[in-house]
Amino acid sequence: MDNNKKRIVLVTGATGGLGTAMCKKLYDDGFLVVGNFRSSSKAEEWKNEMKNGGYEIELFKGDVSDFDSAGQMIKEIESTVGPVDTLVNNAGITRDSRLINMKREDWYEVINTNLNSVFNCTKHVLPGMIERKFGRIINISSVNGQRGQFGQTNYSAAKAGMHGFTKSLAMEVAKSGITVNTISPGYIATDMVMAVPAKVLDQIVAQVPMGRLGGTWEVAHLVCFLASEETSFITGANYSINGGQHVY
């Protein structure tokens, strides 16, 4: 397909575990994929690995927890690649501890990176989407934003906040051909989850009816589904993907 006709997808936190899988699957599905990264150290290596695997994916530097940095990055993408049709708000961090021990910066860093980033990026792509009467906004939340998790008051608050954002914005832009949805993954095998102490993680996996961690490709598949043209009547929704860990 001619690159000029492809839908452009921006994945934030592209070089992470889930971001990488999303970029590959979106590329395989025929999207023009651009990724965001924060730390330069990984970027070149990541791009080379992608290229060796047959994936031509441009990376753009930006700190999504910062409004101006996110805006600058999106401006650069739109002037060099083209307008962003689909935004996947995927970048995120954990700073786990019980609230009693939580440092003030661990609260703010998580809220800024996991929740304020959604505002910071969406705000900059939305006017163009409204003008073009098409858009897909996909917010990567978490099972722990649905049900809470011991040691994650900051993370669960940010991820739960995404649901309110999704539902409200979905109503505001429904008539502009833009859908806004949330995906809530359970525990997926990436560096983020592998940082959980092994003993604690074993206990968590034991509570998953499927008895295993999720695969990054499984979440990537759902992202592609929501990014597709055919899901135009799905908006304000949340998709759980957690192996049965949280059913309601």
- Helix (H) or strand (E) holding 86, with range, is strand 86-89
Angle between helices 104-111 and 153-173 (to 10 degrees): 20
Contacts of 104 (CB under 8 A, 6+ apart): none
In this complex, which beta carbon is closest to ligand CAA, that of residue 84 or of residue 138?
138
Dihedral in degrees, nearest 10, Cα atoms 195, 225, 148, 103: 50
Applying CB under 6 A, does 165 fall inside the site for ligand CAA?
A: no
Is the torsion defined by CA of 29, 230, 183, 106 positive or negative? positive
Which of 12, 20, 90, 144 contacts ligand CAA by CB under 6 A?
144
Please report, as residue ranges, which positions from 101 to 120 form the binding site for ligand CAA (by CB under 6 A): 101
User: Alpha-carbon distance 91 to 77, whole Å?
Assistant: 17
Q: Which does 15 bind (CB under 5 to 8 A by kind): ligand CAA, ligand NAP, none?
A: ligand NAP
Shortest distance, CB of residue 22 to ligand NAP, whole angstroms? Answer: 9
Three-state DSSP at 149 gives coil
- Strand 8-11 and strand 238-241: the pairing is unpaired
Angle at the Cα of 242 from the Cα atoms of 238 and 244, rounded to 5 degrees: 110
Shortest distance, CB of residue 184 to ligand NAP, whole angstroms? Answer: 7
Active site residue 155: yes
Q: Which does 200 bind (CB under 5 to 8 A by kind): ligand NAP, ligand CAA, none?
A: ligand CAA
Query: What φ, ψ does residue 238 adopt, rounded to 5°?
Result: -120, 130
Token couple for 125: 């792509």
Q: Which does 243 bind (CB under 5 to 8 A by kind): ligand CAA, ligand NAP, none?
A: none
What is the contact mask toward ligand NAP in residues 74 to 93, using x (rule: CB under 6 A)? Answer: ----------------xxxx
In this complex, which beta carbon is closest to ligand CAA, that of residue 75 or of residue 103?
103
Positions in the binding site for ligand NAP (CB under 6 A): 12-13, 15-19, 36-39, 63-65, 90-93, 113-114, 140, 142, 185, 187-188, 190-193
Q: Which residues would be at the binding site for ligand CAA (CB under 6 A)?
A: 94, 96-98, 101, 142-144, 149-152, 155, 187, 192-193, 196-197, 200, 204
Active centre residues (catalytic): 155
